[in-house]
Structure 1
């Protein structure tokens, strides 16, 4: 899992991640290439994000916990992030699949 954390850290330093309220905006603006959701996100928020991703045809994946996500991006208490760069999104999808 450290490979995923490394890629997320690089994306965060390159400012290619949307966090917080800007995740929903980036989905609606179709700037998001991949949405990463932690499994401990609340049911209502998870449903909202997944519904938006499906409607706007943006892929999404789940990560094991918000602690892993928060440590990887260097921010406190992050439940989800949107990857804005196509290259980072492809790398993360391949790492999370296999």
Structure 2
């Protein structure tokens, strides 16, 4: 997955205050149309994964999976995070190119 460069780039997006983490906040961002990309941990619960995948597909928000909740949390300098939304178009596009390798 591009040698984890995406994780440090996500950290940069976090420092620029262009991400939101946590299931409820991410769902709110998707509904409002502010989420440009959603990152979901592979080890998310079945219910959470389904909820996020359904929201993303109905609101046409790109969704990418990352290794696990600890890696996702570590990338933004927090404890484990299952889902993160990127709210900036530029960051979202760059992250997608990094994750789609």
Unpaired segments of 5 or more residues in structure 2? none
Q: Which runs of 4+ in 1 moved over 2 A?
A: none
Q: In structure 2, which of residues 5, 22, 27 is the aligned counterpart of residue 24 of structure 1?
A: 27
Cα separation, 2, equivalents of 1:44 and 1:79: 12
Q: In structure 2, which of residues 89, 93, 97 is the aligned counterpart of residue 90 of structure 1?
A: 93
What residue in structure 1 maps to residue 62 of structure 2? 59
What's the offset of the Cα at 1:75? 1.0
Q: What CA deviation, in whole Å up to 9, does each residue of 1:8-33 have, x standing for no partner?
A: 00011011001112101000001000
The normalised TM-score by structure 2 is 0.94
Aligned residues: 98
Contact in 1 for aligned 2:71/2:80 (Cα 8 Å):
no
Is the partner of 2:75 in helix, strand or coil? helix
What residue in structure 1 maps to residue 43 of structure 2? 40
Structure 1 residue 73 and structure 2 residue 92: aligned? no
The normalised TM-score by structure 1 is 0.97
What residue in structure 1 maps to residue 15 of structure 2? 13
Cα separation, 2, equivalents of 1:5 and 1:49: 20
Cα separation, 1, equivalents of 2:52 and 2:25: 12
Q: What CA deviation, in whole Å up to 9, does each residue of 1:50-85 have, x standing for no partner?
A: 000000000000001111111101111200100000
Unpaired segments of 5 or more residues in structure 1? none
What's the offset of the Cα at 1:2? 2.5
- Please tell me the root mean square deviation across aligned C-alpha atoms, in Å: 0.7
Contact in 1 for aligned 2:20/2:87 (Cα 8 Å):
yes
